[in-house]
Amino acid sequence: MSPNAHITSHRKHRRPATQSWVVRTGVAGGVLSTLAVAGTASAATATAEKPAEATQEIPAFNAALSTSIAQSAVATQQAATDTQIRAQVDEAVDVAKAQAKKVKDEADRKAEAERKAAEAEAKRAEQDRASRDSDRSSIGTKSTSGSSTGSHASGNAATLVSFLEAQVGKAYIMGATGSSAYDCSGLVMTAYSQIGIDLPRVSQDQSTAGTQVGLDNLQVGDILYWGSAGSAYHVAVYIGGGKFIGAQNPSTGVAERSLSYSPPTGAVRVL
């Protein structure tokens, strides 16, 4: 008997190879599963700790910045447009004001010119009236101091002038001899008929009806004519003070004018 026959063996029993592989595979799978679970949990934790919007923070910021820049550009453009419009409006207002001032100044100038012209015309009319009054006074003085023939002539001249003045403003109509319209020779003929003197009807004959006198020696009642004696085309009556009354034309009718307005060619005296 061997001395070791009663010694219990401490050697472990061998497991089958297949069982050993299975064990190892299980252990490895468990470890991998554990790692996978841990990794998933870690990823989930990281995802939970980081808000969803954090991943969009940069794109969202860029969009807001772009919008702000666009709005600022629009506002700047609008401000520039408003400034340009205001400048155009201001310029138009200035131009309108300048034009209005120019029109007003021109209207004021015309009004002032018309006022002065009216004053001058009124002054001339006053002077004419004073001249006629003076002539009439002179006629009255001559009639008082002169002979009976001279008195008769002066009285006729005053009557003649008075009649002619009453016709001023009436119409000119060719061939008319009164009482609301006349032509030039018709007025002269009708005026002289008021003092009993018959004159030819037409201006050509009236220009030779009396004694020819110089234009520098005129007396009230002298017949003035335009054109040659015997072929005159217009006649009127001298009323003193460098004035005459005649039926001028269709546009002016019977009017009083100065000798300088239309100087006559000659004159005849029938009083």
For residue 239, give the CATH number of its domain: 3.90.1720.10
Instruction: Report yes or no on 31 lying in a domain.
Output: no
Last residue of a domain, one of 145, 173, 199: 145
Q: Does 79 share its domain with 152? A: no
Last residue of a domain, one of 145, 166, 181: 145
Q: Does 127 share its domain with 193? A: no
Range of the domain at 118: 68-145
Q: Which parts of the chain register pLDDT below 70? A: 1-61, 121-122, 124-153
Strand partners, 238: 244
CB proximity list for 188: less than 8 A, separation 6 or greater: 199, 203, 206, 223, 235, 236, 237, 246
Q: Does 136 share its domain with 178? A: no
- How far is it, in rounded angstroms, from Cα 178 to Cα 186? 7
Instruction: Report yes or no on 198 lying in a domain.
Output: yes
Which two structure tokens, joined as six digits, stand for 143?
């009639």
- How far is it, in rounded angstroms, from Cα 250 to Cα 254? 9
- Residue-level pLDDT at 57: 53
Nearest to 143 by CA among 197, 135, 165: 135
φ and ψ of 232, to 5 deg: -65, 145
Instruction: Report yes or no on 28 lying in a domain.
Output: no
- Residue-level pLDDT at 199: 97
Instruction: Report yes or no on 106 lying in a domain.
Output: yes
- Residue-level pLDDT at 153: 53
Helix axis angle, 148-167 to 57-145, nearest 10°: 160
- In the chain, the number of structural domains is 2
Strand partners, 211: 269
Which two structure tokens, joined as six digits, stand for 67?
């919008």
Tokens 């009453």 appear where? 166
- How far is it, in rounded angstroms, from Cα 163 to Cα 191? 7
Task: Give the side-chain half-sphere CA count within 13 A for 250.
Answer: 3
